[in-house]
Structure 1
Amino acid sequence: MKWHHVAENWPAFYEAIVDRWPDADESDLDEIDGDQRRFLRYIAEIEGLEPEEAREEVREWLAGEIPADVVMDEGHDNISIRNSAKYVGEGEDEYDDDARFGDDNENGKDDEDG
């Protein structure tokens, strides 16, 4: 993930930050508000690290997965859908019959629609 993912969705990362750095406090994270430099200084302070060591820890953390709260964000979903368009064959409509996935009943309508 990139820092802009973190900054744009800062509160969604609190749990992941506290999991990685248990001494982190949510009220302190509120004050940092996604500012990368302030976050690096904060990690260095609570972990007793030199700035470069803190930067490396954060870099390693950024190499991990994006938290589910962020992945399920509407903005992220729209980008994912747009990016997936390259996998839809020419002339194919991604909204066409999806019976092969077991979602459609025999008359072509979803079970809810009857």
Structure 2
Amino acid sequence: MKWHHVQENWSAFYEVIQDKWPEADEADLDEIDGDQRAFIAYLAEVTGQEASDIRDELREWLAGEIPSDVIMDPQHDNHSIALSSKYVNEGEDEYDDDARFGDDGDEADDN
């Protein structure tokens, strides 16, 4: 994953961040608001490690995949839905319920 994934979904990463760095406090994470430099400085302060060591840990952490619970974040989902609009037929809404895909226009089944 890249830092922009973390920054764009900052609050969705709180739990994952706190799993990796238990010293991190949610209120402090709110103030950091996805700023990577501030995050590194904060972690160095609360863990007592050198900023260079935190940067190495962060680089290693970013080498992993985006956690599935972050991908399921509503903000991410809505963004993905909006991007899918290019695959939706003209006149249809990408936010429509497609529980029964392909049923659009079949009025008898819509009741």
Q: Aligned partners of 1:30 and 1:47: how far apart in 2?
A: 18
What's the secondary structure of 2:70's corresponding residue? Answer: helix
Seq. identity, % = 60
Q: Aligned partners of 2:54 and 2:32: how far apart in 1?
A: 15
Larger Rg, first or second structure (1 or 2): 1
- Alpha-carbon contact 1:70-1:76 (below 8 Å) kept: no
- The one-letter amino acid of 1:36's match is Q
Runs of 5+ consecutive residues of structure 1 not aligned to the other structure:
86-102
- Alpha-carbon contact 1:40-1:51 (below 8 Å) kept: yes
- 1:19 pairs with 2:19: yes
Q: Aligned partners of 1:71 and 1:32: how far apart in 2?
A: 21
Q: Aligned partners of 2:15 and 2:27: how far apart in 1?
A: 13
Q: Aligned partners of 1:39 and 1:20: how far apart in 2?
A: 13
Q: Aligned partners of 1:68 and 1:53: how far apart in 2?
A: 27
| Aligned residue-pair number | 88
What is the TM-score of this pair, normalised by structure 2?
Answer: 0.66
Structure 1 residue corresponding to 2:79, chosen from 53, 71, 75: 75
Match of 2:30 in 1: 30
What is the TM-score of this pair, normalised by structure 1?
Answer: 0.64
Q: Aligned partners of 1:71 and 1:62: how far apart in 2?
A: 15
Highest RCO, 1 vs 2 (Cα 8 Å, sep ≥ 6): 2
Q: Aligned partners of 1:44 and 1:71: how far apart in 2?
A: 27
CA RMSD of aligned residues (A): 2.5
- 1:48 pairs with 2:48: yes
